[in-house]
């Protein structure tokens, strides 16, 4: 099946949004009803309660295929930290992608679902003993070494006569990403080994000196929500430079280069997004040119999209609980908030919610959509247009909610985490059930 590379998709869209904000299957019906995957969002809200996450399976699969089409000679690994459940692991596996995980929990869930362990990479700047034991027990494909201390720890944990493939995470000294808190490729932060101070080159020598470890390549991750291709090109040049120095110093040609992910998506109409075809074309050209200049064979490329696969496929649906007008603004309070989406509070993400389930003839007003939690910073969307007659009981849909929502959710104020409902071809099914008060009580064993 041939899928047009992103962006954009070309299926019908809501009248008020560009092609890249809502899933491709989104259609506006009479009376303000919004359908995704052939299922009305207000019906899902009535059947499963709110807040609720809706995930368009076909959009997830199409985006997997778009990456495969854009990078036909590379390995594409879905970054599970964006969102992971058993069904999603199954979809990613069926679409031929690998997986990268950051914990024993993510790894166990994927492998027990049937995901091949050899197509999984384990990341993490501070892997626990349980993370490493689980990775070795399950036969994970690669462990990405993030600090010098991990080299001896992993080597000591590998059984006699066995060998573990590893990669080395390098910090290339590049500042890229949508916010300072999600820029991970610059020096002087917790991830990776710096190129600038020589730690990366020294770590290469140490790994090559461990007979139970096989260094397959270099890894970097520049940050998140990157919308410009140029930082990736700089990373290619700098990492190929280290690969050349590794060959010169040790006679070893590394066969893999992992550029990580962080590919930016739009959250609101008019937001920039990373151009996937341009990224693939220009990274490939830069890699070929840099390797030719260094006299190296072109390594196998690995990319790790997470947000760009699931983010645009997800929608969060909330019910309005209260509307409050002050001299400065109108607050629209909903039944979720920072417990199911901490991203606005953490690093100022902005969304574009819209009224669903009824059509309003009222003029638009500027409103601030806030959550139900005991924090002034519990704001989901600030200064956004909503109908002036919005009232308690209304439903609001928030697009681009498929990544870093449930995966970062909490039970703050003992509010259970929302369920996830998949839609496809006019059908819906529950993937992750709602966390109940009984679930929360069961963990409290103090009496």
Positions annotated as catalytic residues are 374
Q: Taking a C-beta distance cutoff of 8 angstroms, is the pair 82, 407 a contact?
A: yes
Question: Are residues 136 and 163 in contact, defined by beta-carbon separation less than 8 angstroms?
Answer: no
Place of tokens 């199409």: 62
CB 228, CB 203: distance < 8 Å = no
Q: 94 φ, ψ to 5°?
A: -60, -30
Which whole-number Å values give the CA distances from 54 to 42, 110, 174, 352, 353, in the listed order?
11, 21, 35, 16, 14
Residue 316 CA to its chain's centroid (Å): 16
Strands 193-194 and 314-325: unpaired
E strands in 42-176: 52-56, 75-79, 98-101, 120-122, 142-145, 164-171
Cβ atoms of 320 and 390 within 8 Å: the answer is yes
- Judge contact between 221 and 176, C-beta under 8 A: no
Residues 6+ apart with CB under 8 A from 251: none
Q: Helix axis angle, 230-250 relative to 199-208, nearest 10°? A: 50
The two tokens of residue 77 are: 């690994």
Query: What angle (nearest 5°) sits at the alpha carbon of residue 392, between those of residues 366 and 382?
Result: 30
Q: Shortest CA distance to 123 belongs to which of 89, 82, 159, 87?
A: 82
Helix %, strand %, coil % for the chain, to 5?
Answer: 30, 25, 45
Q: How far is it, in rounded angstroms, from Cα 419 to Cα 436? A: 10
- Tokens 């006299």 correspond to 295
Write 129-135 long-range contacts (CB < 8 A, 24+): 130/104, 131/103, 131/104, 131/107, 132/157, 133/104, 133/157, 134/104, 134/107, 134/108, 135/104, 135/107
Please count the helices (runs of H) and the strands (runs of E) in the chain. Answer: 12, 21
Provide the CA 329 distance to its chain's centre, in angstroms: 33
């Amino acid at each position: 099946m041939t899928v047009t590379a992103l962006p954009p998709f070309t299926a019908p869209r809501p009248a008020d949004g560009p092609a890249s904000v809502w899933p491709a299957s989104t259609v506006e019906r009479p009376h303000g009803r919004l359908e995704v995957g052939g299922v009305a969002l207000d019906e899902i809200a009535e059947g499963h309660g709110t807040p609720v996450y809706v995930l368009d399976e076909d959009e997830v699969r199409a985006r997997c295929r778009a990456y495969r089409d854009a990078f036909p000679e590379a390995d594409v690994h879905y970054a599970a930290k964006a969102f992971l459940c058993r069904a999603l692991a199954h979809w990613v596996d069926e679409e031929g992608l690998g997986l990268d995980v950051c914990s024993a929990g993510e790894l166990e869930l994927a492998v027990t679902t049937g995901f091949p362990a050899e197509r999984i990479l384990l990341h993490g700047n501070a892997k626990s003993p349980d993370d490493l034991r689980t990775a070795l027990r399950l036969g994970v494909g690669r462990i990405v070494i993030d600090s010098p201390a991990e080299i001896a720890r992993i080597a000591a944990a590998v059984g006699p006569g066995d060998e573990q493939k590893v990669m080395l995470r390098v910090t290339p000294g590049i500042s890229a990403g949508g916010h300072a808190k999600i820029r991970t490729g610059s020096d002087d932060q917790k991830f990776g080994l710096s190129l600038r101070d020589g730690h990366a080159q020294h770590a290469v020598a140490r790994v090559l000196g461990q007979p139970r470890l096989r260094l397959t390549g270099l890894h970097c991750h520049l940050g998140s929500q990157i919308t410009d291709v140029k930082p990736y090109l700089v990373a290619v040049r700098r990492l190929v430079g280290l690969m050349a120095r590794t060959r010169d110093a040790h006679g070893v040609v590394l066969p893999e280069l992992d550029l990580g992910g962080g590919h930016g998506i739009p959250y609101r109409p008019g937001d920039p997004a990373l151009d996937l075809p341009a990224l693939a074309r220009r990274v490939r050209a830069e890699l070929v040119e840099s390797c030719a200049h260094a006299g190296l064979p072109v390594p196998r490329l690995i990319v790790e999209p997470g947000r760009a696969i699931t983010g645009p496929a997800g929608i969060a649906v909330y019910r309005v609980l209260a509307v409050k007008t002050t001299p400065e603004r109108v607050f629209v309070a909903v039944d979720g908030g920072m417990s199911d989406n901490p991203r606005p509070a953490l690093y100022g993400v902005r969304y574009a919610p819209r009224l669903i389930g009824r059509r309003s003839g009222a003029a638009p007003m500027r409103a601030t959509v806030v959550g139900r939690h005991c924090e002034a910073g519990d704001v989901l969307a600030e200064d956004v247009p909503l109908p002036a007659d919005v009232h308690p009981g209304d439903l609001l849909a928030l697009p681009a909610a498929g990544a870093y929502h449930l995966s970062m959710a909490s039970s703050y104020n003992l509010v259970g985490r929302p369920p996830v409902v998949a839609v496809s071809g006019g059908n819906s099914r529950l993937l992750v059930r709602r966390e109940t008060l009984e679930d929360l009580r069961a963990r409290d064993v103090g009496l």
